[in-house]
Structure 1
Amino acid sequence: MLRAVPVPWTNVYGLARTLLALGTLGTLAFSSTGTLFRPVATQGDHPVCAGPMRAGVFCVAPEDGLTATRWLCVLVLVVVASGWRPRWTALPHAWVSFSVFSGIAIADGGDQVTVVLSTLLALTALGDPRRWHWRVLPEGAARHRPRAVLAGATGLVLVRIQMSFLYFQSCVAKLPHAEWADGTAMWYWGHSIAFGAPGPLRPLVDPVLASPLGVALLTWVPLVIEMGLAASLLLAQRWRWRLFAAGVLFHLSIAVMMGLWSFALAMIGGLVVLCFPLGSHLDVTPPEAVRAVFRRNTGATDRPEGAGDGAKPEAEDGQEPFGPPVPAGSPGTPGPSAPAGSGR
């Protein structure tokens, strides 16, 4: 008898998709067309439309239509980030991610991570029957979709393996360099013109960089976090929560210090899939006090729209009508599951 496979369509994987989309969206929305597409030494003009890169949306667009195409991609990413119709937006998201990484002149590691993760998450999203990836799938709604459940869970497992290997490689690749081994690497990065701390943070950062112990901690603590995240799949869930918090703080620090926000969002999106239990849901139910204030100020009720007048709640794609979703427990609470290859 095959072991039960957790149903992958939860708001946890939805949050990962949203973070990935927001990272790419920020690059396209807050960078001018002239900055994104310009000549680069040894590479020529961008977008470079040769080999597989010809499949990028910016190579398909007319030469004078790069700005319009850029904003069209922004619109696609807004829809992806909103969570609407994940099965419809899965492939457009992967295409836009590939197009940005292969087509712009200032691509960074975050764009590369986003290409890989959005492609793997497409395996999950293509079978997602929900209208919004924030909703909780009703109990038993996936019992007749064992192949889709298995494909979706496989996509999430592949993301986990990818993230684990990424952190392992990132840590191990630094170790042969003397600056990382002796604890001085962050002194050089901290004083870099391109990646050093911005002016307002200098009064906080400079005293740390002036301290041998401070520089050593700034250099070695990230290595410990990366190796811990690389091994997280082998650890108990309570340690994964701690590593998740450390990883989020680590990447947000990089974003604030070095300005690499698209990279931070991509990595945090991957961390969500790596560290949260498969099939788990985030409990986003507002406290009762907040809901009471909302009802008092708006006259709204907790009843679904149309209740009491014979109307039925809207159904998901291919499913029977069901009531309004109720988030299932805490972040560690697993959602419904269906055995792979069976009728449930």
Structure 2
Amino acid sequence: MSPWTNVYGLARTCVALCTLGTLLFSQASSLFRPVQGIPTFPFCQGISQYSLFCLVPPDQLEVARFVAIGVLLAVVSGWRPRFTALPHWWITVSFQASASIPDGGDQISAVITLLLLPVALLDGRRWHWGPPAEVSNRLAASLVAWTTLFVIRLQVTGLYFQASVAKLSHAEWADGTGLWYWLNDSFFGMPDWARPVLQPILLNPVGVTAMTWGPLIIEFGIALGMIARRPVRPYLLASGLLFHLMIGLLMGLGSFMFAMFGCLILHLRPVDQPIRIPLRLHAALRRALDPVRAALARPAKATTSP
């Protein structure tokens, strides 16, 4: 059984999309703004001084942003996990440590990329979408990778267990009205297109209770996925993906959505069972990656030419 399959590769891509989306659609002036109580921006105190965004002059933050985007695009493409693992972690931690207002998705991505380092650094494949790596002569490396993936599952279990149980300490969640406040919040509230559909449900006692307690049940079920049998996990995975998709659409937390997609895949999708990609999609992916392959192969050809 190989841990180096396209399952963990898809999870890496999702986690990278979390940070990539934020950097791609936001300017440095928006991401690194002065915050009350912090004398400098980006935040560069303590260990944060080694952040990518602290190693460049303040007027070059846009350059650092584009460098980070380039690295994250390579991670999303799946190219050379062994070479992109450390830069991916550094950029993710740099953004989480130095941005003015990082969200939960950025913090989760920083932890997951750190935990994935042993797996990715031991992955010698050219693309993390490729066939599973051979493990017959790499038993020690395989043991390290499987142990790391088990630790990640424990981390995700604790994350969802805390998320479900901790909400019950708040009266609004315990009495079934919590989601009414969130979806009507001026900042995180639902978009206008969803209001005609959801507002009548939220105004109904049974509807708002179901919508409030539903996420708690899903989160607790995902936490139990650690001990669930394999045939049950696909249902937990589907419910989790749909749950976070709705959070992304209704609350605008797109980066958080992609971070949790990666966590759910690592937690509930057996890593040793590669995802079967339809032939047409596989061909389309190959065509899309051909320019990347050509660009990466060109320097190597130049160095071997007489």
**TM-score normalised by the chain length of structure 1:** 0.80
Counterpart-to-counterpart distance in 1, 2:168 and 2:103: 22
Tell me, in whole angstroms, the C-alpha distance in 2 between the residues paired with 1:71 and 1:179: 42
1:26 is matched with which residue?
A: 21
Structure 1 portions without partners, runs of 5+: 1-5, 295-344
Alpha-carbon offset, residue 34 of structure 1 = 1.0
Corresponding residue for 1:165? 158
The answer as to whether partners of 1:58 and 1:69 remain within 8 angstroms in 2 is yes
1:271-328 deviation per Cα after TM superposition (whole angstroms, max 9, x unaligned): 00100113120011327xx99x99xxxxxxxxxxxxxxxxxxxxxxxxxxxxxxxxxx
- Tell me the alpha carbon deviations over residues 248-272 of structure 1, each in whole angstroms, 9 at most, x when there is no partner: 0100000000000000100011100
Say if 2:6 and 2:132, in contact at 8 Å, map to a contact too.
no
- Is residue 2:106 matched to residue 1:111? yes
Q: Is the 8 A contact 2:42 2:54 kept in 1?
A: yes
Question: Which residue of structure 2 aligns with residue 196 of structure 1?
Answer: 189
Q: Deviations over 1:88-134 (max 9, x none)?
A: 00000000000010111120000000000011111100000100000
Task: Give per-residue Cα distances to partners, 1:162-204, cap 9 Å, x unaligned.
Answer: 1000001111111111101000001111110001111111111
Q: Write the distance in 2 (CA, Å) between the matches of 1:34 and 1:228.
A: 41
Q: Which residue is equivalent to 1:129?
A: 124
Counterpart of 1:222 (choices 215, 231, 234) is 215
State the one-letter code of the partner of 2:220. M
1:56-205 superposed matches below 5 A: 56-137=51-132, 141-205=134-198
Q: Distance in 1 between matches of 2:186 and 2:40?
A: 26
SS of corresponding position for 1:110: helix
- Counting matched residue pairs gives 284
Task: Give the whole-Å Cα distance in 1 for the aligned partners of 2:131 and 2:278.
Answer: 12
What is the CA-CA distance between 1:46 and the residue it aligns to? 2.3
Task: Work out which of the two has the higher radius of gyration on C-alpha atoms and give 1 or 2.
Answer: 1
Q: Which has the higher helix share?
A: 2
Aligned to 2:250: 257
- Give the structure 2 partner of residue 330 of structure 1: none
Which residue does the alignment assign to 1:240? Answer: 233
Equivalent position of 1:38 in the other structure: 33
| SS of alignment partner, residue 226 of structure 2 | helix
> Which stretch shows the higher mean deviation, 142-151 or 74-83?
142-151
Provide the C-alpha distance between the structure 2 equivalents of 1:278 and 1:75, rounded to a whole number of angstroms: 27
Classify the secondary structure of the residue corresponding to 1:119: helix
Conserved? CA contact 1:11–1:136, under 8 Å: yes
Deviates more, 1:52-61 or 1:163-172: 52-61
2:3 is matched with which residue?
Answer: 8
Equivalent pair of 1:38/1:45 in contact (CA under 8 Å): no
How far does the alpha carbon of each residue in 1:118-160 deviate from its partner, in whole angstroms, 9 at most, with x for none? Answer: 111111000001000000136xx32222222112112211111
Q: In 2, Cα distance between the equivalents of 1:34 and 1:208?
A: 40
Give, as a single letter, the amino acid of the residue that structure 2 aligns with 1:58.
F
- Work out whether 1:282 is the aligned partner of 2:272: no
Give yes or no for contact 2:164–2:216 (8 Å, CA) kept in 1: yes
Does the 8 A contact of 1:14 with 1:83 survive in 2? yes
CA RMSD in angstroms comes to 1.6
Residue 9 of structure 1 contacts residue 128 of structure 1 at CA under 8 Å; is this kept in 2? yes
* CA distance, structure 2, for counterparts of residue 278 and residue 79 of structure 1: 22
Q: Is the 8 A contact 1:37 1:45 kept in 2?
A: no
- Report the Cα offset of residue 211 of structure 1: 1.1
The AA in structure 2 aligned to 1:92 is P
Tell me whether 223-232 or 277-286 shows the greater mean CA deviation: 277-286
Q: Percent identity?
A: 46
Asked if the contact 1:160–1:274 (Cα under 8 Å) also holds between the matched residues in 2, the reply is yes
How many angstroms apart in 1 are the aligned matches of 2:129 and 2:41?
37
- Letter of the aligned partner of 1:76 in structure 2? V
Does structure 1 conserve the Cα–Cα contact (< 8 Å) formed by 2:48 and 2:98?
yes
Write the letter of the residue equivalent to 2:18.
G
Q: Distance in 1 between matches of 2:214 and 2:136?
A: 45
